[in-house]
Amino acid sequence: MTTQATSSLPDYAPVPESSLGPALNEHGYHFGRVERNLFWVTDGTYQSAFLATGDGVVLFDAPPTIGHNLRRAVDAATAEEGTTSTVTHIVYSHHHADHSGAANLFGDDVIRIGHEETRRLLLRDNDPTRPAPEVTFSDTYTLRIGGERVELAFHGPNHSPDNIFIHFPDHAALMLIDIVNSGWVPIYNCNLSEDIPGYIDAPATALTYPWKTYIGGHLGRLGTRDDIELHQQYINDIVESSKEALGKVDPTPYYLKYGTNVWAAVKGYLDEVTELATKPVVAKYTGVLASADIEEFTYSTTFMIMQSMRLDLGAGSQVHP
Ligand SMILES: [Zn+2]
């Protein structure tokens, strides 16, 4: 193991107070009521949720970083509610281990629900901490338990090929993981997303649902519709900034310099365009969205969006005469 001296590590802009959530308890988590019997849990970095009904608890994701604190949160909340603490169902938002790698902590009798692609991917990954869901769906699924209703829907690939929208129509809440980090910028590469057009469109789809509270899966606080709109603005600024930069930078010097080493020319050109597109966005959102000044995040997100404009939308492609 190598250990960096903390004095040699870079400093960043302070996190805006509005981006932070409630303090964690002595076990390192916080749980709270979203509305009525819908609760959320966070460790400050990850989020999950659960519905405490008279017929059992439905858990939505089981991030391993929250781990056994999920049980503690469920026990505490159901004690307040006076309902059973037995987790009867687990709903997977998507197959990624960082959101579901504690799913095995709830025994073998639990009913696991997920998209059919989540099942396929979890069978492929063959990870004992994330047993594949037995109950699957392709487009929509209504979960009814203890008089409550949860609507699951797949609107196409976005962050992952299997990421679903989890709507709580009777709790005015929407859970959509790894798309919008409320109060924060996405991390590298559009929050490590696989389908960029799907990632860009997902917030607009989220806003077509009626809800007040957004559970985004990351960081320490819940979100609002304003958080979704601010995120959309940030992404849209990257799109516009990329278009502008693509129109400005002349690739000729790179090809003249590097000759037959065409990859060196491509690198030089794309780096300059990405850098140029990133700068104004970083400046605009520093102090507005937490970590906007960690340039690598906006830079790599800009790079992915620019490549998607080229590869998915055909921007800038010219047919040789
Ligand atoms: Zn993910």
pLDDT tens string 178-210:
999 999 999 999 999 999 999 999 999 999 999
**Residues near ion ligand 1 (Cβ under 5 Å):** 96, 178
- Please say if the pLDDT value at position 269 is more than 80: yes
Q: How many residues does the chain have?
A: 321
- SS3 assignment, position 93: coil
User: What is the pLDDT at residue 218?
Assistant: 98
**Residue written as token pair 């409630």:** 22
Please give the Cα distance from 182 to 320 (Å, whole number). Answer: 45
Q: Which of 47, 21, 42 is nearest to 30 (CA)?
A: 42
Task: Give the residue-averaged pLDDT of 291-308.
Answer: 97
Q: How far is the CA of 267 from the centre of ligand 1 (A)?
A: 28
Contact 303, 270 (CB under 8 A): yes
- The one-letter amino acid code at 179 reads I
Q: How far is the CA of 266 from the centre of ligand 1 (A)?
A: 30
What strands lie across the sheet with 47-53, from one edge to the other?
30-35, 38-42, 47-53, 56-60, 87-91, 111-115, 135-137
Q: Which of 73, 60, 62, 86 is nearest to 29 (CA)?
A: 73
With a pLDDT cut of 90, the percent of the chain lying above it is 93
Tens of pLDDT, residues 131-181: 999 999 999 999 999 999 999 999 999 999 999 999 999 999 999 999 999
- Please say if the pLDDT value at position 96 is more than 90: yes
Contact 36, 213 (CB under 8 A): no
152, β-bridge pairs:
141, 166
Domain extent listing, the chain: 23-223, 235-311
50, β-bridge pairs:
39, 59
Joined tokens for residue 83: 């309902």
Q: How far is the CA of 200 from the centre of ligand 1 (A)?
A: 15
Beta-carbon-side half-sphere exposure of residue 6 (alpha carbons within 13 Å): 0
Task: Give the residue-averaged pLDDT of 278-284.
Answer: 98
User: What is the pLDDT at residue 316?
Assistant: 74
What is the chain's mean pLDDT, rounded?
A: 96
Tens of pLDDT, residues 16-65: 999 999 999 999 999 999 999 999 999 999 999 999 999 999 999 999 99
Q: How far is the CA of 64 from the centre of ligand 1 (A)?
A: 13
Contact 66, 80 (CB under 8 A): no
How are beta strands 87-91 and 111-115 bridged, if at all?
Answer: parallel
Is 23-223 assigned to CATH 3.60.15.10?
yes
Please give the Cα distance from 153 to 165 (Å, whole number). Answer: 5
Q: How far is the CA of 34 from the centre of ligand 1 (A)?
A: 22
User: What is the pLDDT at residue 275?
Assistant: 97
Q: How far is the CA of 190 from the centre of ligand 1 (A)?
A: 11
Q: How far is the CA of 99 from the centre of ligand 1 (A)?
A: 7
**Residue written as token pair 């504690």:** 102
User: What is the pLDDT at residue 16?
Assistant: 95
Tens of pLDDT, residues 196-254: 999 999 999 999 999 999 999 999 999 999 999 999 999 999 999 999 999 899 999 99
- Please say if the pLDDT value at position 319 is more than 90: no
User: What is the pLDDT at residue 60?
Assistant: 98
Q: How far is the CA of 59 from the centre of ligand 1 (A)?
A: 17
Q: How far is the CA of 28 from the centre of ligand 1 (A)?
A: 22
pLDDT band at 2 (very low <50, low <70, confident <90, very high): confident
Q: How far is the CA of 245 from the centre of ligand 1 (A)?
A: 30
Q: How far is the CA of 253 from the centre of ligand 1 (A)?
A: 40
